[in-house]
Structure 1
Amino acid sequence: MLRAWRQMSLPLLAIACLLAGGCVNNKGDSPGDVKASTAAVAITYQLAGQHFSQVYARFSPALQKALPPMQMAKLWQGFESKYGSFDSASAVENRQHGATATDVVVACHFLRGTQFLDWTLANANLQVTGLHLAGGS
């Protein structure tokens, strides 16, 4: 029952984050940085809600080949096995990556620890062109 409630609430939290204007808004962040941060956090909530096909649809063709939905499911299940149930996500760092891409590090907070995901979002559509594990605690 709790898991079903959590899966329903994760997309709602992502929508609330989007409506609030972003989840990171440090002084000096450009509108593009805030938009990329908001998108990265929303994608992370989709991943946590096990909406792997929706996440996959945001990937570039190269990333789709490297990380199909079944692999995403295994990756996420590995996080939950190691850290416990997912609690929340927040963007903690933005970095410009080339002329049209932004790297956003998202902290995924679990019951027993945190896993950092480094998303690379490119162009005006904020297509996901990279995903790297940036360590955990």
Structure 2
Amino acid sequence: MDLCCGYGAFGVYAASVADCDVWLSDDDCLATACAKRSLRASGVVGTVVTADCVEDSAIPRSVDRILCNPPTHAGTGVLSELFAGARAVLAPNGRLTVVHHRELDLREHLTGFDGTEINHTGSDHVVLNATL
């Protein structure tokens, strides 16, 4: 699942390299319209849903992997809700991969996960994994 998919970069990539069902979700209609076009233009298959976090009934209740570039500008309340929703739909042993600006500390939002580890640190961004 590409959560907060925007135009769908993570979801398109996942659909092109993995043999799995791919879901893309964003609460913005323009973003999901762009994500649908990105899938078509890339020739890959995925399901796009316009939903607030994971609140749409069309979204699977159990996913193995979530990729997310969260809307960190939206504030801590949105981030708390977002990561709680991610925990709710991750399967046991599932993994959330998040990319965010390196100056931002997401630890308080990831306390509900069993473990977190930094996968990569770049000059501006960090990629981390959180597991259940």
Question: Shared fold by TM > 0.5?
Answer: no
In the superposition, the TM-score normalised over structure 2's length comes to: 0.29
In the superposition, the TM-score normalised over structure 1's length comes to: 0.29
